[in-house]
Amino acid sequence: MKTYKLTAYEKKGKIIIDESVEAANDQEAKQKGLALLEEQDLLETTHRLASPTGQLVLFHS
């Protein structure tokens, strides 16, 4: 399993969530990240999900 980093921000840059996501691959991480964002009603906020190598797997601004 790999550790991905999910971060969501307010418009002024304040971090709303900063969580780790464990997943076997990028697709699984993306699904888990979207589920966490949906649970917390944050799908429309600025957010990103980064892989352990720093590659963006998911991004919304």
Mean pLDDT in residue range 47-58: 97
What is the distance in angstroms between the CA of the first residue and the CA of the last residue of the chain?
A: 28
How many CA atoms within 13 Å lie on the side-chain side of 47? 24
Cα separation, 52 vs 23, whole angstroms: 11
Q: What is the pLDDT of residues 13-28, one digit of tens each?
A: 999 999 999 999 999 9
| Verdict on whether the full-model pTM lies above 0.85 | yes
The conformation of residue 54, written as its DSSP 8-state character, comes to S
Q: What pLDDT is stored for residue 5 in this prediction?
A: 98
pLDDT at 40: 96
Q: What are phi and psi of 53, to 5 degrees?
A: -90, 0
- pLDDT per position as a tens digit, 28-42: 999 999 999 999 999
The 10 Å Cβ neighbour count of residue 52 is 10
